[in-house]
Structure 1
Amino acid sequence: MSAYLVEGGRPLDGSVRIHGAKNSVLPILAACLLVPGECVVRNCPDLSDVTASLDILRHLGCAVRREGDAVIVDASAPTGWDVPDDLMREMRSSVIFLGAVLGRMGQADLCAPGGCELGPRPIDLHLAAMRSLGAVIAEAGGGLHCTGGLRGADIVFSLPSVGATENAMLAAVAAEGDTTITNAAREPEIVDLQQFLCAMGADVHGAGSSVITIRGGKRLHGGAYAVMGDRIVAATYLAAAASAGGTVEVTGVDWRHLSTVTAVLAEAGCTLTSTPERILLRCQAPLRGVRPVRTAPYPGFPTDAQAPLMAALCKGTGCSVFVENIFESRYRHVDELCRMGAEIQVEGRVAVVYGVPRLHAAQVRSTDLRGGAALVVAALGAEGESIVTGIHHVERGYQDLPGDLRLLGASVRRT
Structure 2
Amino acid sequence: MDRIRIAGGRELNGTIPISGAKNAALPLMIASLLTDDTLTLENVPHLADVEQLIRILGNHGVDYSVNGRREHQNGGYSRTIHFTARQIVDTTAPYELVSKMRASFWVIGPLLARMGEARVSLPGGCSIGTRPVDLFIDGLSALGAEIDIEGGYIVARAPKGLVGARYAFPKVSVGATHVMLMAAALARGETVIENAACEPEIVNLAECLNKMGARIEGAGTPTVRIDGVTSLSGARHRIIPDRIETGTYAMAVAMTGGDVMLEGAEPELLKSALDTLEQTGVEIVPLNSGIRVRRNGAGIRPVDVTTAPFPGFPTDLQAQFMALMTMAKGKSRITETIFENRFMHVQELARLGAHIGLAGQTAIVEGVSGLKGAQVMATDLRASVSLVIAGLAAEGETTVNRVYHLDRGFERLEEKLSGCGAKIERISG
CA contact (8 A) 1:255 1:277 kept: no
Aligned partners of 1:157, 1:27: CA distance in 2, in Å?
Answer: 19
- Secondary structure at the aligned position of 2:6 is classed as strand
Structure 1 residues without counterparts, runs of 5 or longer: none
CA contact (8 A) 2:285 2:292 kept: yes
Equivalent residue for 1:229, pick from 230, 241, 247: 241
TM-score by length of 1: 0.98
Aligned partners of 1:316, 1:299: CA distance in 2, in Å?
Answer: 25
Instruction: State the one-letter code of the partner of 1:51.
Output: E
Alignment of 1:156-167 (within 5 A): 156-167=168-179
Q: Shift in Å at residue 78 of structure 1?
A: 1.6
Aligned partners of 2:145, 2:204: CA distance in 1, in Å?
Answer: 26
Alignment of 1:14-413 (within 5 A): 14-67=14-67, 68=73, 69-148=79-158, 149-275=161-287, 278-413=290-425
CA contact (8 A) 1:287 1:313 kept: no
CA contact (8 A) 1:264 1:290 kept: no
Q: Shift in Å at residue 304 of structure 1?
A: 0.3
CA contact (8 A) 2:94 2:120 kept: yes
Aligned partners of 1:286, 1:342: CA distance in 2, in Å?
Answer: 20
Q: Deviations over 1:228-276 (max 9, x none)?
A: 0000000000011111110111122220111111112111111111135
Q: Shift in Å at residue 354 of structure 1?
A: 0.9
CA contact (8 A) 1:289 1:319 kept: no
Q: Deviations over 1:128-157 (max 9, x none)?
A: 011000100011222111111211111111
Aligned partners of 2:16, 2:362: CA distance in 1, in Å?
Answer: 33
Q: Shift in Å at residue 46 of structure 1?
A: 1.2
- Secondary structure at the aligned position of 2:353 is classed as coil
Aligned partners of 2:217, 2:25: CA distance in 1, in Å?
Answer: 19
CA contact (8 A) 1:239 1:308 kept: yes
* Superposition misfits of 4+ residues, deviation over 4 angstroms: none
- Secondary structure at the aligned position of 1:120 is classed as coil
Instruction: State the one-letter code of the partner of 1:60.
Output: H
Q: Shift in Å at residue 100 of structure 1?
A: 1.1
Aligned partners of 1:203, 1:245: CA distance in 2, in Å?
Answer: 47
Aligned partners of 1:277, 1:371: CA distance in 2, in Å?
Answer: 29
Aligned partners of 2:183, 2:54: CA distance in 1, in Å?
Answer: 19
CA contact (8 A) 2:380 2:405 kept: yes
Instruction: State the one-letter code of the partner of 2:374.
Output: A
Aligned partners of 1:175, 1:276: CA distance in 2, in Å?
Answer: 40
Q: Deviations over 1:293-316 (max 9, x none)?
A: 000011110000111111122113
Q: RMSD of aligned C-alpha atoms?
A: 1.1
Q: Shift in Å at residue 221 of structure 1?
A: 1.3
Instruction: State the one-letter code of the partner of 2:279.
Output: E
CA contact (8 A) 2:208 2:235 kept: no
Instruction: State the one-letter code of the partner of 1:11.
Output: E
Instruction: State the one-letter code of the partner of 1:264.
Output: T
TM-score by length of 2: 0.95
Q: Shift in Å at residue 286 of structure 1?
A: 4.4
- Secondary structure at the aligned position of 1:70 is classed as strand
Between 63-72 and 132-141, the greater mean CA deviation after superposition:
63-72
Instruction: State the one-letter code of the partner of 2:417.
Output: L
* Identical aligned residues as a percent: 39
CA contact (8 A) 1:166 1:190 kept: yes
